[in-house]
A and B are shown apart, each in its own frame.
Chain A
């Protein structure tokens, strides 16, 4: 009987309460998120009015909790979506609403989602003093925090970009290179491709190669060819040559051949980009030559048969 009482009055109501709690929490989170999204839309319209030079439109509900983040997201969204937007207007908004300080305060809170907040900061027009204030995050144990701290510091002081990129300890992944390119597309990273390719650091070279591929800069062929013999970025340099449809090196130099896996990947890329066997045969070994011939034939024969 005691078990029945235990079940009826403790276990069943308890589990129902837990379920109810979970659902209520979910509802609250959704409600908060939708409110913030609505606020962001209002701020975005107000920002557009300001950028158009139609007076000094005011931002409503700016004292509400979460409004600072909504305003920051609106500015970030505007910068992401527009080209040539007047940075001075946005900078004055950031300064007058003290967004830098408010977001830094959020960053310091325990349990804060630091990569997201740092990425948000990176999308704002920051003052150069933020480079120093964000320095502790550049030494974080989390790789994502370290990287987005770098991105925010680059956005704050683009003049120091080369130094900051040189100091970054981890090799960039392709995703991180793409993030840097996105910053570059917004005009936040004033670096020349050949400067990056001439650098001795692996990370700078990697960003340079990524930039050459992304923007189709074929004038740097000589520099990319020079990097083809590099131990760390050699494979990426060859991929860049393939993507730009440039002539591949005449022979393996320096560190020697790539791994079998990298060679096969390069072979498939070369076939896809339309290279003939004669253009790549000096880079292939044994059966790879046959494999490339087989794969390239599936592209070339169509032109002969039709």
Chain B
């Protein structure tokens, strides 16, 4: 019994420590982001910024491509993967809207690519940034590999369905790469809000393509973390069931804390939850800085309560 009690107390203490560390990281990330945003205006227009290829899988309508193409960063392209068998009308719409024409495609050997039916580029110079791959539907990692194979830039940023870039998100990632004078950075990640990962093409080829455990295969010294959000999700957050699950978990955890250490245990649990709340509150402005300030903050706070805390601190 003592072991279980001490475990409950230790986990409560660990939650407190993790929450404090997250708070510190968020604060530093925000300061650095604010600083860089002030310096980046000229830099992002420069012709020699890091080139970034966005690899997008799970497109549902043509408007999504338009949103991805609306970034202000100078050196990037959008590679969209779709399946002509299940999404024929969408492909036709994309081809018509962006004047896409089939181009020659020969698979390479660096990445494990299969099932590609065709590759399309725009004839219009205005949409030179858009590339479309027609590929049979399978796992997102396979789609990203196929997209990486035809990427023109050195850095790859995979996006899932419903994920969009925050304003200046690309600039923030590019600045992180370009600040490294010795060029040792191979992966840039962001775990605030929607997790993002940007990887160097050569590194991806060396580890044999995208996989769920990709980050573990890159040496720690080659990784760099950005302490603020660069992506947002347009997919609605999980509904009532998740909220009930979180509330139930909180109550059960508080009861376990009381059982383990009586009032001290309960206080420890409450402290942990309070700290998690402070972290979520601090992270809120990064997640939805698009709408009006008050409304956005409220929305972001709700979103975080429903998703972020669950994902990061409790149920995962």
Contacts and interface: CB of A to CB of B under 8 A. Distances in A.
Interface of B: 35, 39, 41-43, 46-51, 101-106, 108-110, 119, 121, 123, 150-154, 175, 178-181, 201-202, 262-264, 266-267, 270-271, 274, 278, 282
A233 B271 CA distance: 55
A178 B108 contact: no
Contacts of A4: 262-263
A3 B181 contact: no
A254 interface: no
Given A171-B181, A174-B50, A213-B47, 14 more contacts: A7-B262, A177-B48, A179-B43, A182-B42, A214-B46, A243-B48, A268-B152, A268-B153, A269-B51, A272-B51, A272-B152, A291-B108, A298-B121, A302-B103
A201 B65 CA distance: 45
B150 A295 contact: yes
22 contacts: A3-B262, A4-B262, A6-B264, A19-B278, A173-B180, A173-B181, A174-B178, A175-B178, A178-B43, A178-B178, A182-B39, A182-B43, A214-B47, A214-B48, A243-B47, A265-B154, A268-B151, A269-B51, A272-B51, A298-B105, A298-B119, A302-B121
Q: Which of A172, A272, A287 has the most CB of B within 10 A?
A: A272
Contact of A8 (B50, B181, B263): B263
B178 to A, nearest CB: 4
Nearest to A8: B263
B40 to A, nearest CB: 9
Contacts of B35: 115-116
Give the interface SS of chain A, mostly helix, strand, loop or mixed.
helix
Contact of A301 (B104, B110, B150, B266): B104
Contacts of A182: 39, 42-43
A178 B152 CA distance: 23
A210 interface: yes
Nearest to A298: B103
Contacts of B101: 302, 305-306
A3 B179 contact: no
A250 to B, nearest CB: 24
A285 to B, nearest CB: 15
A174 B179 CA distance: 6
Contact of A239 (B48, B119, B175, B181): B48
B122 to A, nearest CB: 9
Nearest to B282: A26
Given A116-B35, A268-B153, A7 B42 contact: no
B102 A3 contact: no
Contacts of A243: 47-48
